[in-house]
Structure 1
């Protein structure tokens, strides 16, 4: 299979494939996708339909997916509309596409309460970038809450913005908000994330589309900086190693979700290079 039709980004198996790929790939049968939406706080997207299977990435609340198969064991084979990633997710994490989200979470994370009162025990949490549908607004003891459509609960209003609100102006500043967040392979939320997840979330919050994995990011976003780290580096440059990526906070400091430190850190670029080795490339948006 060509890289252009890599199974990470195309729903294709020997027995089943996306109907939109008919004529491009061989499969026993082709199916038209069914649209669904993530209703859990997040959902692990796995490469195999098993509880112990490796997690490739996570889906966020409100993200739309195309469903190609639902198994009797409770797994759905899906493609995320946000970044095109394909994998298996628990069918329980998915619901209908309507009503469409009206707001997104702008805080690093927020809680869902059973009612508009911060003294009530929280029933769930939502990460930055999650999309939700809201109803009315209620003020309790000076704090404004927005009610979730369908009676699910309430969220602090100041933690939310309209889906049509302007994007964050500085994706590096967004990445800095994740400092000390634990490293989590495949993670894509403010409870835990990996290096490419940090880059993707920061760029998406700033209104910039971004692939999920480091190899896709290295070839799919920005432009190559000739001379690499020996060139004149700038804030926001992305530094790539095989399987790793960091964001320059300034020419001498890199933000990254580090498997060495097991958290998001701001680290002198020279120290990172001494430990990891020479970067393969630098890209600039």
Structure 2
């Protein structure tokens, strides 16, 4: 979403680009610690700040243009150009090249870093800290089977607004997996439904489905692992679960209605 296209005001403040310097940062609806979490920002991502007050920055996420409030201490205005991203489900930031040293925090998958050098099994990042070099890939390297990334979320607890192994919602799971596969996707299921892939004319028997097809309901989505099984983070199982598509269709029809569409990305 472009703010100038969405908000009609006489004058627009020029935003100031910052970089997220915490592993995972909630983007909230309002400037309170207990306000609803819209999504999460990850280490190394850009966040354009338009206003800052009382320790909160209001702005727009660089990845998917989501707008909200972030605690200002999680941002740094001296930006860096990342060279790598985390390819494992998470990796610790260490103060030294020693696996026994206490981790400063965990960086989730798709966190972005600038690598300053490498020695043995460790990669040096800004602030003199280190991460495991084998947990990183260059930003240009994409996973050819993005659904295999989605499968890593199996069993992760359901968390509204979440998109990491610590907790995720339905669209956060899919967006994170797609990003690892080099596919830029919006954050919410309705936006993915309207922008991603091509619609399938699927028969009631779902015989023509294949791995990677996206199934959309009102306010919900999941990804097909093959012709019959669906992976989706949902509030019924309260986790990312795998089940036969037919079972999910029958259950969800009782509360949210029938499938709205099925999209194929490639």
Short-chain TM bin: over 0.9
Deviation at 1:251, TM superposition (A): 1.1
Per-residue CA distance 1:210-268 (angstroms, 9 max, x = gap)? 01001101111111112365451111110111111000001110011121111111111
Q: What are structure 1's unaligned runs of at least 5 residues?
A: 1-8, 12-20
After TM superposition, the runs of 4+ consecutive aligned structure 1 residues lying more than 3 A away are 227-231
Q: How does 1:31-50 map to 2 (within 5 A)?
A: 31-50=13-32
- 1:218 corresponds, among 181, 187, 193, to 193
Residues 1:159 and 2:142 aligned together: no
Partner of 1:199: 174
- 1:275 corresponds, among 233, 251, 260, to 251
Partner of 2:104: 123
Deviation at 1:51, TM superposition (A): 1.3
Rounded Cα–Cα distance in structure 1 between residues aligned with 2:59 and 2:205: 42
Partner of 1:145: 122
* 8 A contact 1:114–1:123 mirrored in 2: yes
Rounded Cα–Cα distance in structure 1 between residues aligned with 2:74 and 2:202: 45
Seen in structure 2, the aligned counterparts of structure 1 residues 148 and 228 have a Cα distance that, compared at 3 Å, is: farther
Deviation at 1:150, TM superposition (A): 2.2
Partner of 2:86: 105
The alignment's TM-score, normalised by the length of structure 2, stands at 0.93
Q: Please, what is the CA RMSD of the aligned residues?
A: 1.5
Partner of 2:33: 51
Partner of 1:80: 61
* 8 A contact 1:238–1:283 mirrored in 2: yes
* 8 A contact 1:47–1:53 mirrored in 2: yes
Q: How does 1:200-279 map to 2 (within 5 A)?
A: 200-227=175-202, 230-231=205-206, 232-277=208-253, 278-279=258-259
* 8 A contact 1:45–1:57 mirrored in 2: yes
Per-residue CA distance 1:77-134 (angstroms, 9 max, x = gap)? 1111111111111111111253211211011111111111111111110011000122
Residues 1:96 and 2:77 aligned together: yes
* 8 A contact 1:229–1:282 mirrored in 2: no
Q: Describe the SS at the equivalent of 2:179.
A: helix
Per-residue CA distance 1:137-188 (angstroms, 9 max, x = gap)? 233xxxx11121221x211110011223x21001111101111111110001
Q: What are structure 2's unaligned runs of at least 5 residues?
A: none
Aligned length: 260
The alignment's TM-score, normalised by the length of structure 1, stands at 0.87
